[in-house]
Amino acid sequence: MDLNRLRDIKTIHELFKSKKLSVVEFTKFHLNKAHELNPTLNCFITITDELALSQAKESEERYLNGNPLSEIDGIPMSVKDVICVKGVRTTASSKMLDKYISPYTATGIQRLIDNGAVIIGKNNSDPFAFGGSGENSGYGPAKNPLDVSRVPGGSSSGSASGVAAGIGIYSIGTDTGGSVRNPASLTGLVGFKPSYGRNSRYGLISMASSFDTMGVLANTVLDAAIVEDILSGMDSKDSTTHDLPKPNFKSDVDKDISGLTVGIPKEYFVEGLDPDIKKSVMDKVEELKAKGVKVKEVSLPHTKYALPTYYILVPSEISSNLGRFDGIRFGNSDSSSIDLEEEYIKSRDVFEDEVKRRIIIGTFALSSGYSDEYYKSALKVRELIKRDFGNVFKEVDAIITPSMPRVAWKIGEEVNDPLKLYLEDIFTVTANLAGIPGISVKCGEKEIDNTDDSIDVWGNKVSRLPIGLQILTNRFKEDTLFRLASKI
């Protein structure tokens, strides 16, 4: 049996049940693969051999006794390193937390563990999830397994890189402005972000509290639905979660889509979008029409303000949330220092450049004399963006857009131009501003002129890179999201 070909939860679960595949041996295979490919991909900060094998042995015992906990029982997976797992090093991919061992586990991850998940490691990312390429990590950039000279996207860079390379069957990332959908698009995966309030944020190291969500990177839409069924639900430790009926998104995957209406927002198909990406997305729209889906052009008029609004509000929340990392409450303290200001300066100088940049922007936006002009104005525009989506969703069931304006770019290409890098988020930040769910699925490939002999992680010369398509639905309408995504 070629274990590399086993990439979806349902198939692996059936093999475990029939005892044709050992949970322990399958876990060892993925751990070995992690150790083998990580020196090239840098997708893991910590590989949790001992924890994974312990969980795998318990899972195998359950299968032998005929009582697995769920479909994900025994399935190897990974966790973005901004999410806490008890007893495991949790760095947020920043040197600020280099030695931090979490004393508790995030609610979402605990729900997966309670259903038999096997955690093989903690994934590299942009520090504190600040970035869209994976290049800002304090531990060096993660690389795209489809072309190791290119970025895998960010901030859930290591999560996407690992799953795309076949290390773990799925990964739990976070999405504040596209940090699951962005890397999914650049690595050819499924990247799912739920509505704000659908999943608990407890145990997620906060970036921007009114934007952050825990999401899923997987190989199939069905896998994302299976995992989200477990992740979702009210949490008494997170007051922003909603008390909603327990979903069964897995069953939505097979439902018919004929009769649904999809909107194509004209503001997302503008100059600057790669024409190959536009064609791939619209080709899929035509396929949906052939399956009985109605299509109409819609307008989201405040889209042009989304990026500046996002990059005022998010850094503002960042500057508040990162106040705790002062070397006294969290971080690296120097007990020899007797001057408090000197202690702060020494400790916070450890922050990576992108972290410092966003703290400074946010502090400025909140400062006396500027908060009305910037922060409060941005809050008003956010409400207008929410209203735009509310109006459009009275007319359509879903919206289809490109996930990213282009395919994966070379590592280092934009690292010295943060404004250009921020523009890569143009299609994804609106979902977080509005609190609505989104999913990125592969819709095609773009041929590239490989003049520098770029290779993938398996040593093959690269000729094509994946293109992602994004689907957005109204808040808490993830069922429609999964129905449409599965048909693409």
Residues that are catalytic: 80, 155, 179
Q: What separation in angstroms does the CA of 79 have from each of 47, 95, 168, 169, 195?
A: 10, 18, 10, 11, 20
Q: Where are the alpha helices (DSSP H) in 242-376?
A: 249-252, 275-290, 306-321, 340-348, 353-366
Number of H helices, E strands in the chain: 16, 11
DSSP 249: H
Residue with tokens 């035509």: 286
Q: How far apart are CA 400 and CA 118, in angstroms?
A: 34
Q: How many CB atoms lie within 10 A of CB 173?
A: 35
- 173 backbone φψ class: left, alpha, beta (φ>0; ψ -120 to 50): beta
Separation between Cα atoms, residue 365 and residue 265, nearest integer Å: 30
| Contact (CB, 8 A) for 430 and 405 | no
CA dist., res. 450 & res. 445, Å (int): 14
- 3 state DSSP class of 52: helix
* CA proximity to 39, closest of 99, 124, 103: 124
Give the tokens for residue 240: 């922003």
In 196-337, which ranges are continuous DSSP H helix? 221-231, 249-252, 275-290, 306-321
